Chain A
Amino acid sequence: MRAAVITYPGSNCDRDLAVAFEQAGFEVARVWHKDSDLPEGLDVVGLPGGFSFGDYLRCGAIAARSPITRAVIAHAERGGYVLGICNGFQVLTETGLLPGALMRNAGLKFVCKPVDLTVATADSAFTSGYEAGQAITIPVAHHDGNYQIDDEGLAKLKGEDRIAFRYAQNPNGARDDIAGVLSENRRVLGLMPHPERAADAAHGGTDGAAMFRSLAGIMATA
């Protein structure tokens, strides 16, 4: 099983994400944003948290135009798996691989704390290790995690069961308490919470580990 973790200038959770993939059994390639090709034979690409390009212009907007991002889009369009966490989620919405946009938190402040989530669907490679409706706790750390989408888009997400996670107590004003969403083919997941920060007993919680384990399980049997 092979994963790639992209490093944009300003990414700061790239190592953390690589560690979480490795702990679940992936072999991880670290890929620089100026590269134009992904390594061969990848199962999943991870877009890490951080402040790509300093969050200048709009969070994720410049990274969405990096050379490697074209390769990530092509990988997704071929049916490849992509996991975008926090800033990675912002990049995914900027590329159009996922609908909606992440606005400034309603409270206008950066917020870093463990939050309670509800798993809204177990029907994806990322969430099959959970049960629908399961309550889990995973930390958030962001200034711009307020997910917004128009009525039509929201109806589509709901109708297609593409809302992956919801906040039990909304920390940022996100519409419909949305914490993470899936692409139409259910192979691209973007979420604001950081599962890689709840992947090991020393973190004080391991609810994030199931995401990496279930991905690994799907890849191993694929």
Chain B
Amino acid sequence: MEEPQITEDLIAAHGLKPDEYERILEIIGREPTFTELGIFSAMWNEHCSYKSSKKWLRTLPTEGPQVICGPGENAGVVDIGDGQAVIFKMESHNHPSYIEPYQGAATGVGGILRDVFTMGARPIAAMNALSFGEPDHPKTKSLVNGVVEGIGGYGNCFGVPTVGGEVRFHPAYNGNCLVNAFAAGLADADKIFYSAASGVGMPVVYLGAKTGRDGVGGATMASAEFDDTIEEKRPTVQVGDPFTEKRLLEACLELMASGAVISIQDMGAAGLTCSAVEMGDKGKLGVKLELDRVPVREDAMTAYEMMLSESQERMLMVLNPSMEAEAKAIFDKWDLDFAIVGETIAEDRFLILHGNEVKADLPLSKLSSEAPEYDRPWVATPAAADLSDVPEIDPIDALKALISSPNYCSRQWVWEQYDHMVMADTVRAPGLGAGIVRVHGTEKLLAFTSDVTPRYVKANPEEGGKQAVAEAYRNLTAVGAKPLASTDNLNFGNPEKPEIMGQFVGAIKGIGAACAALDMPIVSGNVSLYNETDGKGILPTPTIGAVGLIDNQDDMIAGIAREGHAALLIGETKGHLGQSALLAEVFNREDGDAPHVDLDTERRNGEFIRANRALIKACADLSDGGLALAAFEMAEAAGVGIKLDVADTPTLFGEDQGRYLVACNFDQAEALMVEAGKVGIAVTSIGRFTGDHVSVGRNSAPLSELSDIYRGRFASLFG
């Protein structure tokens, strides 16, 4: 087949800048072939190379005694004691989900599950953080339905419980929704599988589904802004098959247990190219691939298409050659393809053969080591103007406005479409705060949360970055878990704009400071840039996924508030209303600064909660919507009313950080006050759980009326 001439237009269509192309010419000393151009474009796009973000990612804290493997592998690995490890990561599938919501979201889930099980872990929990445009934007309803069905369609069939997540709406996502998928798995700490190849002449094996033309160029597409040609990009979205993924999981875990695997890597973005280069590069080896042996499901596929296909449910493995028959038998059992497609070689070469022709012959290590890296110019986000006056408002009216807003109503409509109980180890369903699963066959529990408040990050990237980590810390603490580590999914606009790059730099500084102070190192993550449509960027959205450990089921804070319980507020309230949910949803204002996060206080207050969990029946972190929303949610979940003694707007709706709402009986409340006094933690008695009304000062409303609003809203908007 005649291959296209390398022209300026073709280079630009591959997302390569002229100076990047010059660098290619320098490296190989000749004009690249068409296939080689595709390989460079796949390796050097933003999605795969992190060329704009690498400099800043290096500043994040990634180590700690609990960390077995930090960023750089498919997922982070963290010690949970008893020789076991939790393996987790979060990754975006934003652009594909906007173009084709069901398949985009489904394959986002599939990709993150593979990242986890390629390391030898059985996935035990999933979450997803979703950001959509305004509810009444013409695309939003179909995106919400498609994305939620896609996530459910994949995760439910695969058989992983979806135990948490976030859903938000803001006009800044009208043209660019965000779909961030998290997965965590469980493995023995001494049986983790890595991607570095080792040994010369070892067989390179292709596993899983067959290769088609779907997703060709997907990673390059994900590294570009959108414009009105978006419909033309639909064929670059991959199609998922969770049934194949489930079989691939079982086959891979059997294969790993057999001792046949030297190293293994899933085929994600830029499929065969990225996985083969990754394995060779990490093992300081070359790789030779013979594409005639690649299982294909379409006729006349070219080398270019095979190297760039993003067909799903595929893995690449370096095989222990003495185990070939056993390995093949496992894949035959599960009716999956198993094909030796190449070998490791001593020279630093990435050699691609197809139809007796050399289609690519590149210095393998240079594909990653010589990838461009940019120190993009950035400007710091200017300090926010002072908050102008916020009028007093009837607190019940304000609460009603919040709980009937798409951002703060119940998400039950969403998570009831996800199987959140499969594996029969879920002990805390999604809905409020962290989800919890048992470590199967042990007394241990793992808690999962994902958090970020993009309004804060936009107003003040550094404080907003800190706050995302702090909120995750609080959500884990509120169920009695010790936060272990984090994964970050950094969604931003075009990094070539200094103000966007400034948001990124600020957020990274804040995230880094908070992860260090709260001992939640970043062990994996993903960067998604160019989230813009027609030049308009999204809100900066650095999603933090975090995992916490509860050593024993008895240590979990899992109760609900009961009639007669005291309501205690832990932490200091100053009444910070800047960038609050109240301003955004009730007054339609996004002004003022983000709340300041005092990391020492966060840590002290969190440690206080964990140290005194025996005195606490129910606990919730205070975040968006402040005391009023947390109190309502805690009462609503328990089906008991609440009387709050405070009634002023800043106290009720302020979003000061480092705070928790606690329910406990009178004796426990007294004991908590005493303990707090000893260590200088602020505790305020702010009311009581009682009756069937939510009462704030002299105003009140029946809990049942508020509950109907809260639970019915999402379905009425999107159902």
| A complexed with B | yes
List chain A residues, Cβ under 8 A from B426.
Answer: 203
- Tell whether, in the assembled complex, residue B424 and residue A51 are in contact, meaning their CB atoms are under 8 Å apart: no
- Tell whether, in the assembled complex, residue B243 and residue A54 are in contact, meaning their CB atoms are under 8 Å apart: yes
List chain A residues, Cβ under 8 A from B422.
Answer: 12-13, 16, 49, 141
List chain B residues, Cβ under 8 A from A139.
Answer: 421
Contact partner of A197 (CB less than 8 A), chosen from B156, B334, B424, is: B424
Interface size class of B (residues with CB under 8 A): 20 to 34
Nearest-neighbour CB distance to chain A for B344, whole angstroms, equals 32
Closest B residue to A139 by CB, please name it.
Answer: B421
- Beyond A111-B416, A112-B416, is A9–B246 a contact (Cβ under 8 Å)? yes
Docked Cα-Cα span, A49 to B424, in Å, equals: 12
What 0/1 pattern do residues 35 to 55 of A give for CB contact below 8 A with B? 000000000000001110111
What 0/1 pattern do residues 194 to 219 of A give for CB contact below 8 A with B? 10110110111000000000000000
- Tell whether, in the assembled complex, residue A112 and residue B159 are in contact, meaning their CB atoms are under 8 Å apart: no
Q: Is A158 engaged at the interface, CB distance under 8 Å to the other chain?
A: no
- Tell whether, in the assembled complex, residue B419 and residue A110 are in contact, meaning their CB atoms are under 8 Å apart: yes
Q: Is A10 engaged at the interface, CB distance under 8 Å to the other chain?
A: yes
List chain B residues, Cβ under 8 A from A10.
Answer: 157, 243, 246-247
Closest A residue to B418 by CB, please name it.
Answer: A112
- Beyond A141-B419, A199-B424, is A53–B149 a contact (Cβ under 8 Å)? no
Closest A residue to B426 by CB, please name it.
Answer: A203
Q: Is B108 engaged at the interface, CB distance under 8 Å to the other chain?
A: no
Contact partner of A12 (CB less than 8 A), chosen from B159, B427, B438, is: B159
List chain B residues, Cβ under 8 A from A204.
Answer: 427
Q: Is A113 engaged at the interface, CB distance under 8 Å to the other chain?
A: yes
List chain B residues, Cβ under 8 A from A141.
Answer: 156, 419, 421-422
What 0/1 pattern do residues 170 to 197 of A give for CB contact below 8 A with B? 0000000000000000000000001011
Q: Is A24 engaged at the interface, CB distance under 8 Å to the other chain?
A: no
Docked Cα-Cα span, A154 to B424, in Å, equals: 33
- Beyond A16-B422, A202-B427, is A54–B242 a contact (Cβ under 8 Å)? yes
Docked Cα-Cα span, A147 to B590, in Å, equals: 50
List chain A residues, Cβ under 8 A from B334.
Answer: 9
- Which residues in window 266-280 of B have CB below 8 A to A? none
Contact partner of A51 (CB less than 8 A), chosen from B243, B416, B418, B438, is: B243
List chain B residues, Cβ under 8 A from A50.
Answer: 157, 159
List chain A residues, Cβ under 8 A from B156.
Answer: 51, 110, 112, 141, 143
- Tell whether, in the assembled complex, residue A19 and residue B424 are in contact, meaning their CB atoms are under 8 Å apart: yes
Docked Cα-Cα span, A12 to B416, in Å, equals: 18
Q: Is A156 engaged at the interface, CB distance under 8 Å to the other chain?
A: no
- Tell whether, in the assembled complex, residue B335 and residue A9 are in contact, meaning their CB atoms are under 8 Å apart: yes
Nearest-neighbour CB distance to chain B for A8, whole angstroms, equals 11
Docked Cα-Cα span, A53 to B422, in Å, equals: 18
Q: Is B152 engaged at the interface, CB distance under 8 Å to the other chain?
A: yes
Closest B residue to A34 by CB, please name it.
Answer: B333
Docked Cα-Cα span, A16 to B242, in Å, equals: 20
List chain A residues, Cβ under 8 A from B244.
Answer: 54
Docked Cα-Cα span, A10 to B246, in Å, equals: 6
Q: Is B417 engaged at the interface, CB distance under 8 Å to the other chain?
A: yes
What 0/1 pattern do residues 143 to 186 of B give for CB contact below 8 A with A? 00000010011001111000000000000000000000000000
- Tell whether, in the assembled complex, residue B416 and residue A113 are in contact, meaning their CB atoms are under 8 Å apart: yes
List chain A residues, Cβ under 8 A from B415.
Answer: 112
Interface size class of A (residues with CB under 8 A): 20 to 34
List chain A residues, Cβ under 8 A from B417.
Answer: 109-112
- Tell whether, in the assembled complex, residue A53 and residue B427 are in contact, meaning their CB atoms are under 8 Å apart: no
Closest A residue to B438 by CB, please name it.
Answer: A202
Q: Is B423 engaged at the interface, CB distance under 8 Å to the other chain?
A: yes
- Tell whether, in the assembled complex, residue A112 and residue B427 are in contact, meaning their CB atoms are under 8 Å apart: no
Q: Is B565 engaged at the interface, CB distance under 8 Å to the other chain?
A: no
Judged by DSSP, the binding face of A is: mixed
- Which residues in window 379-431 of B have CB below 8 A to A? 415-427
Q: Is B225 engaged at the interface, CB distance under 8 Å to the other chain?
A: no
- Tell whether, in the assembled complex, residue B420 and residue A203 are in contact, meaning their CB atoms are under 8 Å apart: no
Docked Cα-Cα span, A200 to B424, in Å, equals: 9
- Which residues in window 3-17 of B have CB below 8 A to A? none
Contact partner of B423 (CB less than 8 A), chosen from A16, A20, A56, is: A16
List chain B residues, Cβ under 8 A from A109.
Answer: 149, 417
Q: Is B241 engaged at the interface, CB distance under 8 Å to the other chain?
A: yes
Q: Is A15 engaged at the interface, CB distance under 8 Å to the other chain?
A: yes
What 0/1 pattern do residues 94 to 107 of A give for CB contact below 8 A with B? 00000000000000
Nearest-neighbour CB distance to chain A for B391, whole angstroms, equals 41
Nearest-neighbour CB distance to chain A for B1, whole angstroms, equals 34
Docked Cα-Cα span, A32 to B332, in Å, equals: 13
- Tell whether, in the assembled complex, residue B420 and residue A12 are in contact, meaning their CB atoms are under 8 Å apart: no
Closest B residue to A52 by CB, please name it.
Answer: B243
- Beyond A54-B157, A109-B149, is A197–B242 a contact (Cβ under 8 Å)? no
List chain B residues, Cβ under 8 A from A32.
Answer: 333
Nearest-neighbour CB distance to chain A for B39, whole angstroms, equals 33
Q: Is B258 engaged at the interface, CB distance under 8 Å to the other chain?
A: no
Q: Is B553 engaged at the interface, CB distance under 8 Å to the other chain?
A: yes
Nearest-neighbour CB distance to chain B for A206, whole angstroms, equals 12
- Tell whether, in the assembled complex, residue A9 and residue B438 are in contact, meaning their CB atoms are under 8 Å apart: no
Closest B residue to A141 by CB, please name it.
Answer: B419
Closest A residue to B445 by CB, please name it.
Answer: A202
- Tell whether, in the assembled complex, residue B424 and residue A203 are in contact, meaning their CB atoms are under 8 Å apart: yes
Docked Cα-Cα span, A138 to B147, in Å, equals: 28
- Which residues in window 225-256 of B have CB below 8 A to A? 241-244, 246-247
- Beyond A51-B157, A202-B427, is A12–B421 a contact (Cβ under 8 Å)? no
Closest B residue to A49 by CB, please name it.
Answer: B422
Docked Cα-Cα span, A204 to B420, in Å, equals: 13
Docked Cα-Cα span, A50 to B423, in Å, equals: 11
Closest A residue to B420 by CB, please name it.
Answer: A112
Docked Cα-Cα span, A15 to B422, in Å, equals: 10
Nearest-neighbour CB distance to chain B for A196, whole angstroms, equals 6
Contact partner of B427 (CB less than 8 A), chosen from A16, A19, A110, A203, is: A203
Nearest-neighbour CB distance to chain B for A97, whole angstroms, equals 24
- Which residues in window 435-478 of B have CB below 8 A to A? 438
List chain A residues, Cβ under 8 A from B152.
Answer: 110
- Beyond A9-B335, A34-B333, is A53–B243 a contact (Cβ under 8 Å)? yes
Contact partner of B247 (CB less than 8 A), chosen from A9, A34, A49, A110, is: A9
Nearest-neighbour CB distance to chain B for A32, whole angstroms, equals 8
Docked Cα-Cα span, A19 to B425, in Å, equals: 11
- Tell whether, in the assembled complex, residue A202 and residue B246 are in contact, meaning their CB atoms are under 8 Å apart: no
Nearest-neighbour CB distance to chain B for A11, whole angstroms, equals 8
- Tell whether, in the assembled complex, residue A12 and residue B243 are in contact, meaning their CB atoms are under 8 Å apart: no
Closest 6 CB pairs of A and B: A12-B159, A54-B243, A16-B424, A51-B157, A141-B419, A112-B419
- In addition to A9-B243, A51-B156, A202-B427, 9 A-B residue pairs with Cβ atoms within 8 Å of each other are A10-B243, A10-B246, A32-B333, A50-B157, A110-B156, A112-B420, A141-B419, A141-B422, A203-B427
Instruction: List, sorted by A's number, 21 A–B pairs whose CB atoms are closer than 8 Å.
Output: A10-B157, A10-B243, A12-B157, A20-B424, A32-B333, A50-B159, A51-B159, A51-B242, A54-B157, A55-B157, A56-B243, A110-B418, A111-B416, A111-B417, A112-B156, A112-B418, A194-B421, A196-B424, A199-B424, A203-B424, A203-B427
Question: Taking beta carbons and an 8 Å cutoff, which residues of B are in contact with A?
Answer: 149, 152-153, 156-159, 241-244, 246-247, 333-335, 415-427, 438, 553
Question: Taking beta carbons and an 8 Å cutoff, which residues of A are in contact with B?
Answer: 9-10, 12-13, 15-16, 19-20, 32, 34, 49-51, 53-56, 109-113, 139, 141, 143, 194, 196-197, 199-200, 202-204
